[in-house]
Homo-oligomer: A and B are copies of this chain.
Amino acid sequence: MKCETITGLGEGNGQKQENNSEASHNITPLLLDSWKPYKGTRANVKERLLKLRDCLESVCGIQWYGFATLGILTAVLSFLMDFSVAKLLQAHLWLYGKLEGHILLQFLCWTLYPACICAFASSFSHNICPFSTGSGVPEVRTMLSGIEVPHYLSLTNMFTKFLGLTCTLAAGSTVFLGKVGPFVHLSTMLGAYLDRLCRLIQGKKKDAGTEMMVVAAAVGVASCFGAPVSGVLFSVEVMSSHFALRHYCPCFFSAACGGLTFHLLSAWSRDGETLQALFKTNFPTATPFFPLEILLFALLGLLCGAGSRFYLFCHRWILKFTKTNRVFLTMLTTEKGLYSGLVVFFLALLTFPHSAGQYLASKWTTKQLLTSLLDSRQWSSQSHNASVRLELDSLEWSSSGAPIFLSLAFFLLMKMWMLVLACTLPLPAGYFMPVFVYGAAVGRLFGEGIAYVTTGRDVLGQQWTSVNPGGYALAGAAAFSGAVTHTLSPALLAVELTGQVTHAVPALLSTLLANALARSRNGLSFYDGLSISKKLPHLPSLKKACPQLPSTPLGQVMGVKSVQLQKAAGPAEVQSAVSNSSEAQIPVVDSHAEAESCFFINWMIIAFVQRIEGRLDEVCSIRPNSVVVSPHNTVQEAYNMLSVAPAQTIFVADRGKLVGQITWSEMKQILVGLAKDI
């Protein structure tokens, strides 16, 4: 424990004096350890560093450099990962191509490569850091709502997650998992480290706030696709109940830095590509869509909403199944590597291009798949007329000569259960991009159908010459992924990814309707399901799973009475209170001689107290401001109050008597208790 004497502070100048003590802290962390050698040189270097810091601070606060660094570093990580994954996928396809003619070798190459990679990723992440598996978004959401989740921000986790995710992505379209979720998590870990660094440079000793994490959530999405605006909207959406406006500018700033770096790296690495949208499309600009098509977009939204409910049902079922079935349970707890290897081998068996894979476009990467689905040209007419058949697009989708509708329907049918199965893999992996592509395929099938039916016909007096199936694929992708995650930002993401602003309104409409269907009757989102399955203390998910839960009165769920001190307490009492309490602050109550039941908190001790002579209120800096609620207030109300309360502490008093104190750690205990009941 540290030894600090605390001078008595008046009530008014508390703030001021705090600033002064901050200023005196500024120098200490860099000039400590005076016993080390090369005193002169070190002092010189440190002085220059301090000057540099002052120079930097004169432009803007240190944390802004932190935000910029966060954006840039995340984008560099994202680019590095994309680069390595591309090389690994290329190597796989090269090998597969070289073995042309030897079907057995080709088969082994096709199946063993992803199986080995995934088995490795699984055992690696299990052994180094078991918390690195999965998407990480449910944990990030919990942390953003103010509750600490241990182990999820460690450096080991970051390293493991990065390597594991690269392996997962290198398994390609066989495993068909994405990178968004883990990237949000990676960026949060990076943010936590940069936050500590900024605090070290500033010489602040306060606890880390959630600001850097809110920003990091935005940067994760922004750097993944170079889409800053949807990144910020994602960050707004994952915040539990209130988005604080002071985070708005940092979010945009960091996301813009990340997006810019991502675009610039792409532009500089590949000579041909410039600063365009990631999935560039060539939608016709003259007539993006006919007014009446709006109704079809709405119908597509409802279709995607229904599809998402089915997917979520299957996902929850398999989550439950793996937790109750004995074989799965044993495999998943003891033999993670083997399980991953077997499942991926089975999936690869199906996607092998000489078996069912020929209908699944399995040779394509996720990016190629999405680009082909978003193509504005009509496929069905191309299939009709062999002379205008386009080599690139139709090659994979109807390589066996099967009609395009059958091919797409088979793709949808197979990918649904394959995706649900892949979600059980104990790997670092994202579940957003697959749903996005799946939605695009749903939209494409719908759009191709519309185009086939309307070509050359009059629809209510209008000649629908060229219905664009790519537009439906865009809206479908946004609607399906939005419905699965219960968010609206995919609509904007789809626009930012493709550069089609004209389709923003239809995509938004489809996403809204899909969301309405997915959320009806307290439907759980994908992340809610994971949160509840993992028993995370995340209030909004608990609320959806069991709507009456957050209105439990506080008195029913509160823990033991907290340590408290009398205002006139002597040294011995303070000593024992400090040794009994693990908190940095202890409530001080003011008792009036006669009234036995009349305790009331008005003060709090700011720091650990060790050496005390005289009365408590004479020696200690005591904060007189406090927020008090009653035990009859609900958990939800206490939660809301806590998120805006000064010093992040609220007191619970029943008829004037202090019965407890709630900080985020108490709130976490309460929520964990509630989560157990579900």
Residues B502 and A501 in contact, CB atoms below 8 Å apart: no
A252-B592 in contact given A277-B501, A501-B496, A505-B228 (Cβ < 8 Å): no
Q: Give the distance in Å from the alpha carbon of A552 to the alpha carbon of B630 in the complex.
A: 26
Q: Is A634's beta carbon under 8 Å from chain B?
A: yes
Minimum C-beta distance from A475 to chain B (A): 12
Minimum C-beta distance from A275 to chain B (A): 5
Q: Give the distance in Å from the alpha carbon of A264 to the alpha carbon of B275 in the complex.
A: 32
A625-B637 in contact given A245-B239, A276-B285 (Cβ < 8 Å): yes
A509-B260 in contact given A277-B502, A502-B499 (Cβ < 8 Å): yes
Q: Give A622-653 as 1s and 0s: 1 = Cβ < 8 Å from B's Cβ atoms.
A: 00111111101110010011011110000001
Q: Give the distance in Å from the alpha carbon of A555 to the alpha carbon of B564 in the complex.
A: 25
Q: Is A590's beta carbon under 8 Å from chain B?
A: yes
Of B60, B246, B492, B628, the residue contacting A229 (CB under 8 A) is B492
Interface size on A, residues (CB 8 A): 86
B residues near A664, Cβ cutoff 8 Å: none
B residues near A501, Cβ cutoff 8 Å: 277, 495-496, 498-501
Residues A637 and B632 in contact, CB atoms below 8 Å apart: no
Minimum C-beta distance from A295 to chain B (A): 11
A627-B625 in contact given A245-B237, A256-B505, A289-B275 (Cβ < 8 Å): no
Q: Is A388's beta carbon under 8 Å from chain B?
A: no
Residues A248 and B256 in contact, CB atoms below 8 Å apart: no
Interface centre among A498, A501, A632 (most CB of B within 10 A): A501
B residues near A592, Cβ cutoff 8 Å: 595, 597-598
Residues A288 and B260 in contact, CB atoms below 8 Å apart: no
Minimum C-beta distance from A617 to chain B (A): 13
Copies of this chain, tallied across the complex: 2
B residues near A233, Cβ cutoff 8 Å: 229
Q: Is A439's beta carbon under 8 Å from chain B?
A: no
Of B228, B516, B641, the residue contacting A641 (CB under 8 A) is B641
Residues A249 and B515 in contact, CB atoms below 8 Å apart: yes
Q: Is A243's beta carbon under 8 Å from chain B?
A: yes
B residues near A613, Cβ cutoff 8 Å: none
What residues of chain A have their CB less than 8 Å away from a CB belonging to chain B? 11, 15, 60, 226, 228-229, 233, 236-237, 239-246, 248-249, 252-253, 256, 259-260, 263-264, 267-268, 274-277, 280, 285-289, 291, 294, 488, 492, 495-496, 498-502, 504-505, 508-509, 512, 515-516, 551, 590, 592, 594-595, 597-598, 600, 602, 624-630, 632-634, 637, 640-641, 643-646, 653-656
- Shortest Cβ-Cβ A-B pairs, 10 listed: A595-B595, A628-B628, A624-B632, A600-B656, A242-B242, A499-B501, A640-B644, A625-B633, A598-B598, A243-B243
Known: A229-B504, A241-B246. 10 other contacts (CB 8 A): A11-B632, A252-B512, A256-B508, A276-B285, A495-B501, A496-B504, A499-B502, A592-B595, A625-B637, A640-B644
